């Protein structure tokens, strides 16, 4: 339960079927917010332009009417003009109208108590923007604006007015709420529809991801036909191609397994005749020892000698049979490699070497700790196949070499022989892997496939003194990778 909570606490770990639709919905919300902001700004700009236009017309007419009275410093004429202009504002909601000279000294105002004649205009009037810079603010329901009164290019005064802009702000608030409500509903509808549609599309991808990554241990599994999209779409084609790949992979695994089994049986078949000879020869001596025991059971020295002979002969038979059975047993697949495996390989190859009067030079520069990362059965099969091929190439009285070392985190296995050299077709079969037309070369193909499955490499070279040296490099830490 805690792991599930931690999973949902990290958005990057959410499945694509959740992240992609959610991102699409958030993008829709973002676009709607940007569009609303642009519309509202445009509406505010239109309102400001409208207010500036109406106020500009009004103050132009007032300034023209006040120009002669301000020029003559006619207070009563200015008062009369201001009073008439205040009442003739029309649709413009004027709250106050003030006329000053060039130094902002009040000449006349529609409210003398608020703006006494002869007083300097308040700071808010002096700092009021001119018509060209007039704009609305949500924090103020009234605004001041001013216009210069100019006569023959000379500044002679100012006319200032206070405008009630509450109706403009009401329209702006109504527009804002209309945008918020309308865009919210539209965004929710579109985001929900987009989330639903994208979720349906991504669900197919989620199914494919589950089948590709949910069966790593047991291999890939085909997608059932019931899960396929009802219509012929790209996902239906993708599912079909995935199933074709799964079937091809299964066939490849089966072929590789049959090839491995075939190579194992071929190796055992090549050993069977010599193993039978190795077992039959000691059996004759053991039977003679038994007859001697029966005849001379009252003579202790004869009994002791015959018993020693029986023990040595039976121990040899036990070792040979154990090595053979261990090589063929399937339950060794999960065991790791050890030095005992090389002793078994020596027992298995000895009858073949004795039959050809050959010598095995085996050098082990590793211990069990260096070998734990590799599977016993596969490595034994690789080395036995190479030893048998080396024995066949070396000929009568030849020399076979097996050297095992650890090099840069890899297990290096060198198998050499004193034969005439590896034929080109065999070299290609071991390194590249073309099919053999006559069905031969099973052992070399098996060596190549198993080595690749372990993540290893194969290098074939000629010995300076003659013969062939095959070098394998198997990563110890990685172990089997499962790719062939």
Q: Where are the domains of the chain?
A: 12-175, 249-475
* pTM across the whole model: 0.41
The residue whose two tokens read 């080396």 is: 390
- Contact between 385 and 263 (Cβ < 8 Å): yes
Name the residue among 387, 393, 382 with its Cα closest to residue 445: 382
pLDDT at residue 438, as a whole number: 45
DSSP 8-state class, residue 435: P
CA distance 239 to 204: 9
Name the residue among 52, 71, 69 with its Cα closest to residue 60: 52
Give CA torsion, residues 393, 397, 400, 401, to 10 deg. -140
pLDDT at residue 51, as a whole number: 83
DSSP assignments along 46-105, one per residue: HHHHHHHHHHHHHHHHHHHHHHHHHHHT-HHHHHHHHHHHHHT-TTS-EEEEEEEETT-B
Interacting residues of 178 by C-beta distance below 8 A, sequence separation 6+: none
Counting as low any pLDDT under 70, the low residues of the chain are 1-18, 20-21, 199, 202-210, 212-219, 226-227, 229-235, 259-289, 291, 302, 306, 309-310, 312-334, 433-443, 477-484
- Contact between 28 and 199 (Cβ < 8 Å): no
How far CA 50 is from CA of 63, 105, 111, 141, 175, in Å, comes to 20, 30, 27, 16, 16
Give CA torsion, residues 326, 330, 332, 333, to 10 deg. 140
H/E stretch holding 187 reads helix 166-213
Q: What phi, psi does 441 have (nearest 5°)? A: 75, 25
CA distance 35 to 41: 10
DSSP-assigned beta bridge partners for residue 462: 468
Burial string for 431-469 (b: 16+ CB within 10 Å, else e) reads eeeeeeeeeebbbbbbbbbbbbbbbbebeeeeeeeebbb
- Contact between 219 and 249 (Cβ < 8 Å): yes
pLDDT at residue 373, as a whole number: 78
DSSP-assigned beta bridge partners for residue 461: 469
pLDDT at residue 400, as a whole number: 92
CA 349, 352, 355, 360 dihedral sign is negative
The count of C-alpha atoms lying within 13 angstroms of the C-alpha of 53, restricted to the half-sphere facing its C-beta, is: 6
The residue whose two tokens read 């989330």 is: 195
Region of 96 (left: φ > 0; alpha: ψ -120 to 50; beta: rest) is beta
The count of C-alpha atoms lying within 13 angstroms of the C-alpha of 230, restricted to the half-sphere facing its C-beta, is: 1
Fold that domain 249-475 belongs to in CATH: Heat Shock Protein 90 (3.30.565)
3-state secondary structure of 20: helix
CA distance 260 to 442: 8
CA distance 110 to 99: 9
pLDDT at residue 403, as a whole number: 92
Indicate the class that CATH gives domain 12-175: alpha beta
């Amino acid at each position: 339960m805690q792991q599930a909570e931690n999973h949902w606490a990290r958005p990057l770990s959410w499945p694509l079927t959740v992240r992609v639709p959610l991102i699409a919905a958030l993008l829709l919300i973002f676009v709607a917010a940007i569009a609303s902001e642009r519309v509202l700004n445009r509406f505010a700009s239109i309102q400001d332009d409208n207010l500036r236009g109406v106020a500009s017309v009004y103050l132009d007419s007032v300034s023209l009417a006040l120009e002669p009275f301000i020029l003559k410093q006619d207070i009563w004429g200015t008062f009369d003009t201001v009073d008439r202009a205040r009442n003739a504002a029309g649709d413009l909601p004027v709250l106050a109208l003030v006329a000053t000279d060039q130094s902002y000294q009040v000449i006349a105002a529609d409210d003398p108590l608020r703006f006494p004649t002869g007083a300097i205009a308040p700071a808010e009037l002096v700092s009021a923007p001119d018509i060209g810079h007039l704009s609305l603010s949500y924090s103020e329901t009234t605004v001041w604006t001013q216009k210069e009164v100019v006569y023959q290019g000379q500044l002679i005064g100012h006319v200032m007015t206070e405008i009630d802009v509450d109706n403009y702000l009401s329209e702006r608030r109504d527009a804002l709420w209309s945008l918020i409500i309308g865009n919210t509903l539209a965004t929710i509808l579109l985001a929900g529809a987009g989330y639903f549609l994208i979720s349906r599309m991504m669900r197919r991808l989620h199914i494919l991801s589950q089948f590709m990554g949910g069966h790593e241990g047991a291999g890939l599994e085909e997608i059932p036909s019931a899960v396929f999209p009802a219509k012929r779409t790209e996902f239906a084609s993708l599912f079909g191609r995935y199933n074709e790949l799964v079937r091809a992979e299964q066939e490849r695994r089966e072929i590789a397994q049959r090839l491995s089994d075939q190579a194992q049986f071929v190796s055992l078949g090549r050993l069977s005749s010599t193993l039978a000879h190795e077992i039959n020869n000691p059996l004759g001596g053991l039977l003679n020892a038994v007859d001697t025991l029966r005849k001379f059971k009252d003579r202790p020295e004869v009994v002791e000698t015959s018993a020693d002979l029986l023990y040595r002969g039976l121990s040899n038979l036990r070792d040979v049979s154990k090595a053979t059975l261990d090589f063929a047993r399937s339950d060794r697949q999960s065991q790791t490699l050890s030095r005992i495996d090389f002793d078994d390989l020596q027992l298995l190859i000895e009858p073949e070497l004795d039959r050809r009067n050959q010598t095995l030079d085996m050098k082990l520069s590793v211990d069990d700790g260096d070998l734990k990362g590799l599977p016993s059965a596969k490595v034994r099969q690789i080395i036995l196949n190479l030893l048998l091929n080396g024995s066949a190439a070396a000929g009568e009285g030849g020399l076979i070499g097996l050297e095992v070392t650890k090099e840069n985190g890899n297990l290096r296995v060198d198998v050499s022989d004193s034969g005439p050299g590896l034929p080109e077709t065999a070299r290609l079969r071991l390194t590249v892997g073309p099919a053999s037309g006559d069905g031969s070369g099973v052992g070399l193909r098996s060596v190549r496939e198993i080595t690749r499955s372990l993540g290893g490499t194969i290098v074939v070279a000629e010995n300076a003194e003659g013969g062939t040296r095959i070098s394998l490099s198997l990563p110890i830490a990685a172990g089997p990778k499962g790719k062939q």
